[in-house]
Chains A and B, each alone.
Chain A
């Protein structure tokens, strides 16, 4: 880090300014800092193994072997928030990675190759890589390629492509068998990497923590409707990061416990059904946030437009159901990965949004047509048409990129957002 600060003074200063702009409470900052510090320490510790998984990978298998999970996507989000992704992305593109590829991937590759620390997108070299095609195919190719580049082992989980919400459980059971069988291969792979024997007992302890973190996370989300607007913003940007990358860290659980206790103290043991303060325009955001453009959200807030719900945030923290036995847990994890919320069929996904539009009294929806994450931007025109028709509220498809500022034009975005606000204003009369 020190070397980086000396070598890349300007980037470091710009990055720190970017971090400062984020809606980070000191407590949330603390829990995020715990993760980056532990990543760095785990990497430096010669007796501690580290593995690099993609988001959504069942990291409990790694944790059961005391292997620290190093998440490149999380670091790419940090770099995005810092507003320093342009150079790493260009570095990756100069090596031949196409402009069309995922900007998390390119940020990660570029920042790592330039020797940047993880707070700025670089990945401390892990001992191996693991990934799954549960969310996207990029996960498989990206990590396979990283393993090849760095000459370390790779393990891939093949997750069947499942369209959830159709009620054909017969298929799901077969798919679960297929994934559970691969878990045993994964265990064998990890035994080899760590030189340790797998312990079911330890694994179940780890899973217990995940389930607690995820349950807490969703209990907190249930209070969102009544929270003051300022806090929604924190949710959209950063609140899910602990549950996305470190759901097993005690710090994450302690943090969510504190937040929930505070909410219970303020609003009672069950979330109230009334809405909290009524912002001028209550918006729903769909897709990954635009990391490098926190200003956009502040600017919208100045105009009275606040995001109060996102399907994306709600989709994290999938380990919600408590399990008690090892075989049941394996099947449950497999089922959770196969039926991630984004695998829902379009009608169910639209119905979910419509329900939230009513619950949260939403005035307009913004769909982020994310140029580098096509899975997160699928079928948006259909979603837009359906919601405009059923709910009669404006829906804006905003073309940008979560981590690549070159795909963002301030003037274009502002004109579209202003027109969108004018439409909501006209509806209110």
Chain B
């Protein structure tokens, strides 16, 4: 039987398709303003591409902030449980997950058998999330793909002290005006996200092995800033960006 996971996040919508717990296919599209239209189109395109009849689908689990809009879901599960399930699938044995998504960041602690034992999420503010990075990339007239690589060649990280996205953006603009090297500013931005994440996690709660998921996990700069601050190495699964959808599909299997 086919199992489908749909992760409708604030920035992107992801789909994962599994057959007998084997991952067959994943896809990511921007969520846009019409959540329902987006997942429906993605679902239809996936079915067409894989020649899936509805009768072949044994379960659909939806997750992410738009999970309740998926009326065909057999179950709706929170991102926390789906990210844990996704990691159990791709990196079994992981004990801590750092997930930085479009508008929220989470830290999930797993027990020995991969069950969720605790979680923390950012509150009330998008600082330290993917949206923060996007705003900074815009201010630096750069794109997110280059961010990670550029920061790795920085001589020293510039200091960005504000937690607020809007104020940090003006700090970045004044650093540009002062002639600070772009790589240094980017490294400073990564540092500020890593600092925020580390304070949310609380050092004592980090049990290794640690994995990182979410779109921001592709950014090597943030991963390395986190690794330095925590003094550990962090695994990034190949399915990092679609980890929630993969977890949802595995729960639907």
A binding-site residues for B, Cβ under 8 Å: 381, 388, 394-395, 399, 407, 409, 411-412, 415-416, 418-419, 422-423, 426
Contact B81 A412 (CB under 8 A): no
B interface residues, Cβ below 8 angstroms from A: 65, 77-81, 104, 115-119, 121, 123-124, 202
A419–B124 touching, CB < 8 Å: no
A394 interface neighbour in B65, B79, B118, Cβ under 8 Å:
B118
Closest to B121 in A: A416
| B contact residues around A395 at 8 Å (CB) | 118
**B202 touching A419 by the CB < 8 A rule?**
no
Contacts of B115 in A (CB 8 A): 426
From A381, A399, A418, A426, give the contact of B123 (CB < 8 A). Answer: A399
Contact (Cβ within 8 A) A412 B121: yes
Residues of B within 8 A of A411 (CB): 65
A412 touches B123 (CB 8 A): yes
Q: Knowing that A411-B65, A415-B79 are A-B contacts, what are 20 other residue pairs whose CB atoms are under 8 Å apart, sorted by A's residue number?
A: A381-B202, A388-B117, A388-B118, A394-B118, A399-B124, A407-B124, A409-B124, A412-B104, A412-B123, A412-B124, A415-B80, A418-B78, A419-B80, A419-B81, A419-B119, A422-B77, A422-B80, A423-B117, A426-B115, A426-B116
Chain A residues closer than 8 Å to B124, beta-carbon distance: 399, 407, 409, 412
Report the Cα distance A423→B65, complex, angstroms.
18
Q: Which of B104, B116, B123 contacts A423 (CB 8 A)?
A: B116
Q: Would you mind naming 28 contact pairs between A and B with Cβ atoms under 8 Å apart? A: A388-B117, A388-B118, A395-B118, A399-B123, A399-B124, A407-B124, A411-B65, A412-B104, A412-B121, A412-B123, A412-B124, A415-B78, A415-B79, A415-B80, A418-B78, A419-B78, A419-B79, A419-B81, A419-B116, A422-B77, A422-B78, A422-B81, A422-B116, A423-B116, A423-B117, A426-B81, A426-B115, A426-B116
| Residues of chain A within 8 A of B79, CB atoms compared | 415, 419
- How far is A69 from B79 in the complex, measured between Cα atoms in Å? 49
Most buried by B among A407, A409, A411: A411
A416 / chain B contacts, CB cutoff of 8 Å? 121
Chain A, Cβ-Cβ closest to B115? A426
For B204, give the chain A residue with the smallest CB separation: A385
> In the complex, which residues of chain B have a beta carbon less than 8 angstroms from the beta carbon of A415?
65, 78-80, 121
| Complex Cα–Cα for A422 and B115 (A) | 11
In the assembled complex, the CB of A317 is this many whole angstroms from the nearest CB of chain B, namely 33
A426–B84 alpha-carbon span in the complex (Å): 12
A418 cross-chain contacts in B, Cβ below 8 A: 78
Tell me, rounded to whole Å, the shortest Cβ–Cβ distance linking B100 to chain A. Answer: 16
Chain A residues with CB under 8 Å of B65's CB are 411, 415
A369–B80 alpha-carbon span in the complex (Å): 20
